[in-house]
Amino acid sequence: MAIPAALVVLPLGVLFLLSGLIVNLIQAAFFVTVRPFSKNLYRRINRVVAELLWLQLVWLVDWWAGVEVRVYADSETFKSMGKEHALVICNHRSDIDWLVGWILAQRSGCLGSTLAVMKKSSKFLPIPFFWDNFCNHSLQVIGWSMWFTEYLFLERSWAKDESTLKSGLQRLKDFPQPFWLALFVEGTRFTQAKLLAAQEYAASQGLPIPRNVLIPHYQVTRLNLFGLQGFVSSVNIMRSFVPAIYDVTVAIPKDSPSPTMLRILKGQSSVVHVHMKRHAMDELPQTDDGVAQWCKDIFVAKDALLDKHLAEGTLVMMNIIKLLAGQKVATG
């Protein structure tokens, strides 16, 4: 169902802005009146309140545009989703990767306790994927909602961000419900220009040359904003209370247009393939260098998996396949 974007942006933007402001006010009220006395109760209430806003975007992707998300996972991964704390690492392919994550979290029952590490400007400034200024202001309410939900906001300077990340992660030790914390270890969204830079870096360092992903590394640049520091520090802090890492790989079939917010607003569907693999946290190496190498190896494996996807059009490598599109669920 293709609809002129202007006919959709304005009414949906107004509705989202108004409802978002109401949700933000409710969150602020509970933050002031409940959190000082019971952080546990505040988190439980805020989870429900935040979902009132975030479910609108899930509906937009899921029902309005009819984006089909096919999830490939083994039985252990599937049974664990939504039942435990998890650190989620994912390749960053498009401007709606986070929305795909929200759909998976909603299906797993933990949408309201989904967290992420994000750049600090997202907390107060509009998220920059909407082409229309009005919608930019509508999306501003998401940043505020994320702040109330304890998302972690970094400044892209490790000297400043190290203490922010450490304190933010330590606050999650007593989180009362299963949460997912998403970390885009590549540090930036994939583009051909950034891939070329990553390939040049790999060649200079004697590393495998990537074809479909960027390379996580320690050097923080404009093309790699957080590097490996964030991942290594996160693992060191979360080992004691987060039992798993979810390795997520997002791929777009060759015969499907890449999903964008503009396409979604116009009601145009796409297909997204998602491969998920659970890794037990206690199986990771104990040293910083070992953890960093583990992460690099994961992205080399992602690259090979995406090569397979380009060649065969599928990510079928597991025993269970879940198809999530609207209410449809299929196994095989």
CATH 1.10.10 matches 5-324: no
What is the signed CA dihedral for 84, 90, 94, 98, rounded to 10 degrees? 20
Rounded Cα distance, 110 and 215, in Å: 29
pLDDT tens across 7-54, in order? Answer: 666 777 778 888 888 999 999 999 999 999 999 999 999 999 999 999
pLDDT at 189 over 90: no
pTM of the predicted model as reported, rounded to 2 decimal places? 0.86
pLDDT at 135 over 70: no
Rounded Cα distance, 236 and 291, in Å: 9
pLDDT tens across 289-318, in order? Answer: 999 999 989 999 999 999 988 888 776 554
Rounded Cα distance, 95 and 112, in Å: 21
User: Tokens in use for 26?
Assistant: 């409710």
Tokens 């957080």: give the residue.
226
Residue 330, classified by CB atoms within 10 Å of its CB into exposed (0-12), middle (13-18) or buried (19+), is: exposed
Q: So what's the pLDDT on residue 6?
A: 61
Percent of the chain with pLDDT over 70: 82
